[in-house]
Amino acid sequence: MNNEVFSVFITGVGGQGILLASELLSEVARTAGKDVKKSEVHGMAQRGGSVVGHVRFGAKVASPLITDGEADVILAFEKLEALRHINALKPGGKIIVNEQEIAPAPVAAGLMEYPTDVWGRIVAVSSDAVKVEGAKLAKEAGSIRATNVVLLGALSAFLPFEEKIWHEAIKKRVPPKTIEINIKAFSFGRRAAGG
């Protein structure tokens, strides 16, 4: 990953902490000496609508936006959102998917059904997709609200940044009373992804 630009596409729904995840990843890359560009699309975030974050880092990054087929990694906080944005993944790219299912508005209203075999459809595109039980691990760490940090922990297993840089970024960005829970959540996610 020396001088190349590395692109991480983060997706989920409003309220899952995608914006904080983008901030933490950007902080880590910047601390490691990378040029970083990021962009978020909030959509209907407060209503559980789709939210995406683009984070790109390298020696020199021109644009924050990730186009189709350009993401080295998709970090998906919800299964259906992973499938919805799978075209962003480049050939040979990695996708990390939170096991959680959150019904989009049409499903919650009974107008549609949540699609079946979402995981199978993801694996058909990326055979080495990684599934993470984010909510379960966050609860074990002490708070379901740390699910986003569990997923960052899983992502960290595939990036060249030292664990201590991640810990420092977490300590800077989360409320002081939640630092211990978030560090634990990060470690659980990292271990779940084999880091």
* pLDDT at residue 51 tops 90: no
Domain architecture of the chain: domains with CATH: 6-192 (3.40.920.10)
Mean pLDDT of the chain: 91
Residue in the structure block whose two tokens are 């989009």: 104
Asked if 96 and 134 touch (Cβ cutoff 8 Å), the reply is no
pTM for this predicted structure: 0.92
Q: Chain centroid to CA 30: how far? A: 18
- For residue 124, the surrounding DSSP H or E stretch is helix 118-125
The Cα 172–Cα 180 span in angstroms is 12
Residue 45's pLDDT is: 46
d(CA 151, CA 186): 7
Residue 42 has pLDDT above 70, yes or no: no
Using CA atoms, how far apart are residues 30 and 168, in angstroms rounded to an integer? 12
